[in-house]
Amino acid sequence: MIKAGIIGATGYAGGELVRLLLNHKEVEIKWYGSRSYIDKKYYEVYQNMFKLVDDKCMDDNMEALADEVDVIFTATPQGLCASLVKEEILSKVKIVDLSADFRLKDVKVYEEWYKIRHKSPEFIEEAVYGLCELNREDVKKARLVANPGCYTTCSILTCYPLVKEGLIRPETLIIDAKSGTSGAGRGAKIDNLYCEVNENIKAYGVTTHRHTPEIEEQLGYAAGREFCLNFTPHLVPMNRGILVTAYASLAQDADEDAIRAAYEKYYGSEYFIRVLDKDVCPQTKWVEGSNFVDVNFKIDKRTNRVIMMGAIDNLVKGAAGQAVQNMNLMFGFEETEGLKLVPMFP
């Protein structure tokens, strides 16, 4: 049994971490960190935890926390984890960071897109990008894991096999993504009020969304060269879920059999990635509340393009579920422990 601490336990991703870890047979939560609710009982913040969690919320003192637990999850805004992490802490405890602080390997790119100074760039090279299906062996050896973003998880896993196998022309890739409102976090924002979101859909962060360089960096590794693409996110009136629809021109020798074979090559043995049957398009409802990624594709022979599609729950595979999956690998547990969640339907 290992002990876990969560900094940012009262945000949406933090709340999902609590939900998942309470059902993990190898983990005991010892620290419910929340700067906004110090000394308030956790169930008073999330009433669904009544009679399940009686602990009070604590502060974000990572140094004190490192003496009490084996793993720390930081479900916090950009910049906080980087401001707290130190070699002394990493010598005692493993960290899974759900923010973007250690996802990008170029500190200049991070500071350009996130508009803040990185406070611990010395750990960027060491941090492992925690997309388990692609970096499983590195995650197993890591003491600091950068948990991928929600849009990036869905976008990368949807496109990766075709990029890796050279079945598309990378310079033609366009990614259109749609997310539920929980992806924006639990903080009060005018744009996320019910009357603003209900009966509405909009694009945002057009050409400027912060997940763009993360997608480019990881697909660039797959392609073996620098990658540049268009990524446009949209906000849709639902609680959770991400749907990615990506478009690219086919390479000359790519056909349906080759594309299907590429998906099976990389994902055929993956528990959490489900390659759907021919002509079945992913839906967010089919993955809601689960750690699954549903992917599929369709070739448009008229335009010689392929349409790649993927769906995840942004709070599970896009955040907390993937963080638990990473923790499982880091501590030698079964990768699926605590995560065999049947999707909610309807």
The token pair at 325 is 């999956």
Per-residue confidence (pLDDT) for residue 192, from 0 to 100: 84
324: how many CB neighbours lie within 10 A of its CB?
29
Per-residue confidence (pLDDT) for residue 40, from 0 to 100: 97
Per-residue confidence (pLDDT) for residue 85, from 0 to 100: 97
How would DSSP label each residue in 87-105? HHHHTT-EEEE-SSTTT-S
Q: How far apart, in Å, do the first and last CA atoms of the chain sit?
A: 35
Per-residue confidence (pLDDT) for residue 188, from 0 to 100: 73
**Residues assigned a catalytic role:** 150
Per-residue confidence (pLDDT) for residue 232, from 0 to 100: 98
Angstrom distance (rounded) from CA 198 to CA 206: 21
Q: How far is CA 338 from CA 19, 181, 277, in A?
A: 10, 25, 27
Three-state DSSP at 129 gives: strand
pLDDT < 50: residue spans in the chain: none
Q: Which residues contact 42 (CB under 8 A, 6 or more apart)?
A: 9, 10, 18, 32, 49, 53, 54, 55, 56, 57
Per-residue confidence (pLDDT) for residue 267, from 0 to 100: 98
- Rounded-to-10 torsion of CA 25, 28, 34, 40: 110
